[in-house]
Amino acid sequence: MNRAISSWHSPSLNKEMPVAVYGYYGFALLMVPTAAADYLEYERFQLIDSLAPHIDGGKVKVFSINSINNESWMNPHMEGAHKAIRHNQFNQYVFNEVIPFIKEQTSPETPVIICGASFGALHSMNLFLKRPDLIEGVIAMSGVYDLHEYTRGYHDDQVYFNSPMDYLPGLTDSWYLDHIRRSRHIHILSGGGAYEDPGAAGRFARVLYDKGINYELDIWGNDMTHDWPTWRAMLPYYLESRF
């Protein structure tokens, strides 16, 4: 498998941000880490290995980025307002830096699908909904789509507008809704086992349904827990059967 590491000093975040790239060809799969993890997390826990047939076969080219959750929602010593500011800077990093980098590494026409597990699922869904003109779809695994789960009681407008369960029900802008509704790849996946929250997936799917947005909700069995074996099973299956 071809593997390369790129890095640049991000103007949006004012820090060095590395990206791991796997493969040569195919649509672009942008991977957002879980919780406080880094850009090599999906490699470290063998998820990238599980995708090897699709990467080596030219179906997908994977781009795995760093999180900054330790500098925002996962930082217990930071004021809530500052966490929100930092999170918005991360959004801008993805939109203004990562997506152009992906296009340079592939082509202007290459579709970008964003994917994440756990906290990465919330971020992935949020990034897709905010810029459906840049990101064509999302695979969200084991997510909770309410940012309040992570804000330790803090709430402001920026929490609201980064919490899909908050802002999507009230979204009426036809530009956003039309772009979101065009996507053929909104996949909401959850296990049914320990530490999973299939109810959160179902509640968010209902919001999509109420907005006339096509989606796929797939709840796996009680043996599928909130852990890496579940995600190593889910993601290759979806790349094989849906793309």
41: helix, strand or coil:
helix
The encoded tokens of residue 205 equal: 């799917």
Q: Please give the pLDDT value at position 36.
A: 86
End-to-end C-alpha distance for the chain, whole angstroms: 20
Angle between the N-to-C axes of helices 119-130 and 80-93, in degrees from 0 to 180, rounded to the nearest 10: 60
Q: Where are the beta strands (DSSP E) in the chain?
A: 3-10, 15-22, 27-32, 60-65, 112-117, 137-141, 185-190, 216-219
| Reported confidence tier of residue 33, pLDDT bands at 50, 70, 90 | very high
Instruction: Write phi, then psi, for 215 (nearest 5 degrees).
Output: -155, 170
Please provide the average confidence, as pLDDT, over all residues in the chain: 97
193: helix, strand or coil:
coil
Q: What is the pLDDT of residues 34-55, one digit of tens each?
A: 998 999 999 999 999 999 999 9
Q: What is the pLDDT of residues 55-107, one digit of tens each?
A: 999 999 999 999 999 999 999 999 999 999 999 999 999 999 999 999 999 99
| Reported confidence tier of residue 176, pLDDT bands at 50, 70, 90 | very high
Q: What is the pLDDT of residues 190-201, one digit of tens each?
A: 999 999 999 999
Other beta carbons less than 10 A from residue 156's beta carbon:
12
Put the strands of the sheet holding 216-219 in their side by side order. Answer: 3-10, 15-22, 60-65, 27-32, 112-117, 137-141, 185-190, 216-219
The span from the CA of 102 to the CA of 4, in Å, is: 13
Q: What is the pLDDT of residues 2-12, one digit of tens each?
A: 999 999 999 99
Q: Provide the residue ranges of all domains of the chain, joining segments of one domain with +.
A: 3-242
Identify the CATH class of 3-242: alpha beta
Amino acid letter, 64 = S
Q: Find the range with the poorest average confidence among 75-84, 106-115, 131-140.
A: 75-84
